[in-house]
Amino acid sequence: MSSPNAESTAFRSALEVIRAVEPRVADAIGAELADQRESLKLIASENYASPATLLAMGNWFSDKYAEGTVGRRFYAGCQNVDTVEALAAEHARELFGASHAYVQPHSGIDANLVAFWAILADRVESPALKRAQVRQVNDLTEEDWFALRRELGDQRMLGMSLDAGGHLTHGFRPNISGKMFDQRSYGTDPATGLIDYDRVAEAAREFRPLILVAGYSAYPRKVNFRIMREIADSVGATFMVDMAHFAGLVAGKVFTGDFDPVPHAHIVTTTTHKSLRGPRGGMVLCGPELADQVDRGCPMVLGGPLPHVMAAKAVALAEARRPDFADYAQRIVDNAQALAEGLLGRGAKLVTGGTDNHLVLIDVSGYGLTGRQAEQALLDSGIVTNRNAVPQDPNGAWYTSGIRIGTPALTTRGLGAAEMDATAELIHTVLSQTTAGSNADGTPSKAKYVLDPALADKVSRQATDLLSTHPLYPSVTLT
């Protein structure tokens, strides 16, 4: 551990240097820390990276171009970038037990694009695609492009439906994957809210996808990746797992055996900034069969690598290999379960009736609210969450009927079961005291709501009190 004093000095000095050029940026950075310290952050996809991870990003690695891979760069002078990229990849391989790790993707979406392209390039017999591999993409003739689109446009992807908790990048329209693939999705059992593997197998048999995708942003349960792999094998599909949300639980060995995606999937993608608690970024893990295609990520679908972020990935992955990370991962799940129990005990309705990962999905129709109304009422009360569709959501993807909450961030702050129960009390108080509003013409509104501002203030103060016992970045003082 570095001394707390060193951490304070580092951030203070950095701000002093920035302030001399553009003080408003320095002020905004300081204000962001203050805001993060004061908000009860229950956004399931966010976390707080360590000072070492944050500091590894602010340096001259940012100036370096490093297209290519370790030892095979299109630019000279990449020896130090090679060092950090190789280190990040080594930590990733060791941490997850993967034979290959590609640490260049800039985000989770980019990691998925790398994986999709690698699978297409590996699996699809396309003369146009072969030409695209051997020549510069911008050398392709117009005819090649049309052929490529035709050949690739026939390919199929089977992923989890959005309202069951799947992600946009698994073949849905707002993402390019929805244009690249003919997509069909599997949902969850309406009675239990759980994945019904027999139904997934049936959909796979009927649809015969090239890629079967597992992984989610809003499913509060474990997924059995062994069964999913068997389904993929039964139809000759490539099995891809997007563990963006739960990579920290895999790293911390909370998800093992059938629930660890790495031994079962052909290819695994992830973000590095969610439960894994690293810098903003993405990563791809795979076996030797796909490694060469994955390594073509840049320049095939990615812009130049971000060496400063790869340095931070190496730091964060080194942290995740330490025994205390396993402890952290277990506490994330313990806290989510405590939060779920606290909510259930007060009468809240939860999708699947609970959780075995880091997130809880409240069905706020039980409170007579839409997700949008609930999200805003909670925000007024100092509780940061996000609205999310529930399975077969009657209010659609914009207003929704759900609130997604997660514990990775609060667990990093050190909050435990008692604070989770107190948090459940605050959430329940706000939601049970909020009523749906109406439009000017008297019809019910899906956005407007009524909440006594005095109550919102009171809850806000209680939330701040709850946090004051567990300061964020206690080692860092900026003044």
Ligand X SMILES: *Cc1c(COP(=O)(O)O)cnc(C)c1O
Active site residues: 65, 67, 242, 271, 274, 280
Nearest approach, Cβ of residue 306 and ligand X (Å): 13
Burial of 430-454, coded b for 16+ CB within 10 Å and e otherwise, reads bbebbebeeeeeeeeebebbebeee
Which residue, 108 or 382, is less far from ligand X as judged by CB? 108
Residues 200-219 binding ligand X (CB under 6 A) are 215-217
Shortest gap between Cβ of 170 and ligand X (angstroms)?
7
Q: Does 406 sit near ligand X (CB under 6 A)?
A: no
Cis peptide before 299 (omega within 30 of 0): yes
- 393 lines the binding site for ligand X (CB under 6 A): no
Q: How far is CA 258 from CA 226, 250, 304, 342, 362, in A?
A: 5, 11, 36, 29, 27
Mask for 227-266, x = binds ligand X (CB under 6 A): ---------------x-xx---------------------
Rounded alpha-carbon distances, angstroms, from residue 359 to 13, 334, 353, 405: 37, 11, 12, 6
C-beta of 132 vs 212, nearer to ligand X: 212
109 in contact with ligand X (CB under 6 A):
yes
End-to-end CA distance of the chain: 22
Residue 212 or 476 having the CB closest to ligand X: 212
Nearer to ligand X, 244 or 306 (CB): 244
The encoded tokens of residue 47 equal 């976390």
Helix or strand holding residue 337 (H, E) = helix 323-345
Q: For residue 359, what is the enclosing H or E element?
A: strand 359-363
C-alpha distance from residue 9 to each of 162, 310, 440 (Å): 45, 24, 55
Q: Does 435 bind ligand X (CB under 6 A)?
A: no
Question: In the complex, what is the shortest distance from the CB of residue 112 to ligand X, in angstroms, rounded to a whole number?
Answer: 6
Q: Which stretch binds ligand X (CB under 6 A): 86-94, 107-115, 320-328, 442-450?
A: 107-115
Question: Is residue 107 within the footprint of ligand X (CB under 6 A)?
Answer: yes
Q: Count residues binding ligand X (CB under 6 A).
A: 14
Q: Nearer Cβ to ligand X, position 11 or 255? A: 255
Please report how close the Cβ of residue 420 comes to ligand X at its closest, in angstroms.
22
**Binding of ligand X by 108 (CB under 6 A):** yes
Nearest residue relative to ligand X (C-beta) = 108
Among 73, 91, 100, 167, binds ligand X (CB under 6 A): 167
Q: How far is the CB of 171 from ligand X (least distance, A)?
A: 12
Minimum separation from the CB atom of position 257 to ligand X (A): 21
In whole angstroms, give the CA distance from residue 300 to residue 113: 10
String of contacts with ligand X for each residue 310-339, x by CB under 6 A: ------------------------------
Closest contact distance (angstroms) between CB of 15 and ligand X is 26
The answer to whether 183 and 157 have CB atoms below 8 angstroms apart is yes
Binder to ligand X among 126, 271, 355, 381 (CB under 6 A)?
Answer: 271
Q: How far apart are CA 385 and CA 348, in angstroms?
A: 16
- Angstrom distance (rounded) from CA 385 to CA 343: 15
Number of Cβ atoms within 10 Å of the Cβ of 124: 16
Contact between 162 and ligand X by CB under 6 A: the answer reads no
Distances (CA, A) of 377 to 6, 39, 109, 423: 40, 14, 30, 15
User: What is residue 44's DSSP assignment?
Assistant: T
Helix (H, G, I), strand (E, B) or coil at 312: helix
Q: Give least dist CB 277 to ligand X, A.
A: 14
Q: Binding segment for ligand X among 104-112, 134-142, 194-202, 400-408 (CB under 6 A)?
A: 104-112
- Interface residue with ligand X among 169, 177, 373, 460 (CB under 6 A) is 169
Among 7, 40, 45, 381, the residue binding ligand X under the rule CB under 6 A is 45
Asked if 438 and 448 count as a contact pair (C-beta separation under 8 A), the reply is yes
CB 332 within 8 A of CB 249: yes
The whole-angstrom separation of Cα 265 and Cα 267 is 5
Question: Which residue stretch of 103-111, 189-197, 297-305, 312-320 sits at the interface with ligand X (rule: CB under 6 A)?
Answer: 103-111
Choice between 115 and 348, CB closer to ligand X? 115
Region at 48 (left for phi over 0; alpha for psi -120 to 50; beta for the rest):
beta
Closest CB to ligand X among 217 and 335?
217
223 vs 244 by CB, closer to ligand X = 244
Binding positions for ligand X, rule: CB under 6 A: 45, 107-109, 167, 169, 215-217, 242, 244-245, 271, 282
